[in-house]
């Protein structure tokens, strides 16, 4: 399947389990692999035959900058579900959410979660 990839969309939000994470904003990033047939767009040069990545970013922003979540796993699930609901051309999506500097007492390059969800797995609300 063809993929449209949006790399490292950056956001500032308050998510996490620790009390400081609800008090202080921190950086998050999202990388998306959007699976859909891209030949129709490539052959016609028409935006309506693909996904408008500005519209995709708006969906992701609403979730990540929205309601507090304890887990980045929950953010990833919410992003995947909303993208599949919002864009009928989308067959599957891989979502990677990264918290580059979690407030812990050891040093590391951050934490990420990566999930892949398909439209066929989408359960009704």
pLDDT tens string 52-65: 999 999 999 999 99
Lowest model confidence (mean pLDDT) among 1-10, 17-26, 68-77, 79-88? 17-26
Q: Which of 3, 62, 69, 99 is catalytic?
A: 99
Residue partners of 19: CB distance under 8 A and separation at least 6: none
Active site residue 99: yes
pLDDT the model gives residue 125: 60
User: What is the distance, to the nearest Å, from the Cα of residue 83 to the centroid of all Cα atoms in its chain?
Assistant: 8
Sequence-ordered alpha helix ranges (H) in 12-109: 19-23, 39-44, 53-64, 72-86
When pLDDT is averaged across residues 6-14 and rounded to a whole number, the result is 97
Return mean pLDDT, the chain. Answer: 94
> The CATH number of 3-121 is which of 3.40.250.10, 3.40.50.300, 3.40.50.1980, 3.30.1130.10?
3.30.1130.10
Q: Is 125 exposed, middle or buried (0-12, 13-18, 19+ CB in 10 A)?
A: exposed
Say what the pLDDT of residue 97 is: 98
């Amino acid at each position: 399947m063809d993929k449209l990839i949006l790399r490292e969309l950056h956001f500032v939000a308050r998510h996490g389990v620790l009390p400081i994470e609800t008090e202080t904003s921190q950086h998050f990033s999202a990388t998306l692999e959007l699976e859909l047939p891209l030949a129709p767009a490539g052959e016609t040069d028409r935006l309506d035959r693909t996904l408008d990545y500005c519209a995709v970013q708006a969906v992701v922003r609403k979730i990540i900058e929205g309601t507090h979540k304890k887990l980045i796993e929950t953010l990833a699930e919410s992003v995947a579900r909303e993208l599949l609901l919002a864009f009928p051309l989308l067959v599957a999506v891989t979502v990677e959410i990264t918290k580059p500097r979690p407030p812990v007492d050891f040093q590391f390059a951050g934490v990420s979660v990566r999930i892949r969800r398909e439209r066929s797995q989408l359960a009704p609300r």
